[in-house]
A and B are shown apart, each in its own frame.
Chain A
Amino acid sequence: MDPFYTNELIPALNRGLVMSTMLIIPSAFFGLLGGILVGTFRVFGPKPIQRLFNAYTAIFRGVPLMVQLFILYYGLPNIGIYFEAYTAAVIGFILCSSAYNSEYIRGALLAIKSGQLQAASALGMSKTQALVWIIIPQAFRRALPGCGNEMIYLIKYSSLAYIVSCIELTGEARAIAAQSFRFTEAFTVVACYYLLLVSIATYLLKKVEKRLAIPGFGTK
């Protein structure tokens, strides 16, 4: 085999893969958690909180992620806030992914019949208890396909981390390609890496969906 692959490209991409994974996993987890919180506050929160989180969603869905990352990494130091490249990227991904996920969760929450909340209240549950034990578990199941979709997106937009100098898969591939001028090979292989990551995520998401499946909720 061409030593370009075995000695240069693959070791670099494997290094990038580790970094990508370290970006994706916390971003996906906290992005989902954030989405649930933001979505719930946007539907059931007090009016001022609803407005606040609506504004948050409008901003983070409305501004290109690349611009958000630039602001986080290059802009904030102007007001004395410094982030490592990795931290800036993860924060950016979590904020963006939360905004998108909140919309899936919001839709699912609105689809839950008001009788569920009434029945919970009639048993003496507080609003918070009803949300935590009755409403959110149902909404989460309904939102899961959408949130899964957002995670798949996240895997791919994690490639933007390299523009704030956090060198992950795409960053490594770019460096190797620029060095060797073998763009086609480098990016074809990196494409396979992403495809693999997405396939694994799809498989895991399907497993989770199956695990959470309940008669009357999604998969039979």
Chain B
Amino acid sequence: MTVPILFARDICVTIGSNEILKNVSLSLPKGSLKVLIGPSGAGKSTFLQTLNHLIPHDSGCLELNGKEINLNNKRELYAYRQQVGMIFQDFNLFDHLNALDNVAIALRKVKGVERQTAHNRAMQELKRVGLEDKATLYPAELSGGQKQRVAIARALAMDPTVLLLDEPTSALDPELIGEVLAVIRDLTRDGLTMVMATHQMDFARALAHEIVFMQDGEIIEQGSPEELLQEGTSSRTRDFCARLVTAIDDKR
């Protein structure tokens, strides 16, 4: 068996008397796309944020390429975070920097890449997400979909081995979702290892290698989309998706 790229073992997070995550473990083989689904409040977002230690866990451990990360060592933590890129629901582009500098800043200040080289690299990443003509625009001048694509370019510029995506299309207008999903689809084809929380079931069904269903801070089920979503199977995941669909139909 090959060593997974990223392995989270028995992650527990308690805030006050609330158990947000209860012994959540996840193993990410190279090149895989795992999709986290589940009702809101299930802990998907919290779990993703524990994976790069934006939220510290109370117990459990993180392993990158089979090596446990010592999260108390600041230097090791910062190096680890460079390896694990993150895409946020509300983009979090740096508002005072234009698209190009948003992508280049971490290259320059974290990796110490010289200005011109960093800009060239940033331009290359903006091209990859189809935004080379928006390089000089500021976040306030970009649409939601464009902002999220810049955010993806910013993460990719650091050459991450894993990308975490926290509902990357949830804050977008319906007509802008497609452009972001297209970029993510290209990344799966390039073989980037990713974990993504999403409600885009069609996307998950088509591209996920594995669907992970979470509820109340626990992983309830995981398996391939075929196993969990096929007609006739009785999985919690399928129930949830069916309810999701009815909810949408009811609204109509």
Question: Is A219's beta carbon under 8 Å from chain B?
Answer: no
CA of A123 to CA of B106, assembled, Å: 6
Question: Is A63's beta carbon under 8 Å from chain B?
Answer: no
Q: Are A141 and B96 in contact (CB under 8 A)?
A: yes
Q: Are B81 and A215 in contact (CB under 8 A)?
A: no
Question: Is B78's beta carbon under 8 Å from chain A?
Answer: yes
Question: Is B92's beta carbon under 8 Å from chain A?
Answer: yes
Q: Which residues of B contact A192 (CB under 8 A)?
A: none
CA of A215 to CA of B134, assembled, Å: 14
> Could you tell me which residues of chain A, from 118 to 162, have a CB within 8 Å of some CB in chain B?
118-126, 129, 133-134, 137-138, 141
Contact of B140 among A120, A141, A215 (CB under 8 A): A215
Question: Is B220's beta carbon under 8 Å from chain A?
Answer: no
> Could you tell me which residues of chain B, from 77 to 124, have a CB within 8 Å of some CB in chain A?
78-79, 81-82, 84-86, 88, 90, 92-96, 105-106, 109-110
Chain B, residue nearest A130 (CB): B109
How would you classify the secondary structure of chain A's contact residues: helix, strand, loop or mixed? helix
Q: Are B138 and A215 in contact (CB under 8 A)?
A: yes
Q: Are B78 and A122 in contact (CB under 8 A)?
A: no
Q: Are B96 and A124 in contact (CB under 8 A)?
A: no
Q: A124-B110, A124-B158, A125-B106 are in contact. Are A215 and B82 (CB under 8 A)?
A: no
Q: Are B81 and A123 in contact (CB under 8 A)?
A: yes
CA of A119 to CA of B150, assembled, Å: 13
Q: Which residues of A contact B85 (CB under 8 A)?
A: 122-123
Contact of B88 among A119, A126, A216, A217 (CB under 8 A): A119
Q: Are A134 and B140 in contact (CB under 8 A)?
A: no
CA of A116 to CA of B92, assembled, Å: 6
Q: Which residues of B contact A123 (CB under 8 A)?
A: 81-82, 85, 106, 110, 154-155, 158
29 contacts between A and B (CB under 8 A): A113-B92, A115-B88, A116-B92, A118-B92, A119-B93, A120-B94, A121-B54, A121-B81, A122-B54, A122-B86, A123-B85, A123-B106, A123-B154, A124-B106, A125-B106, A125-B110, A126-B78, A129-B109, A137-B96, A138-B94, A138-B95, A138-B96, A141-B96, A214-B96, A214-B138, A214-B140, A215-B137, A216-B140, A217-B96
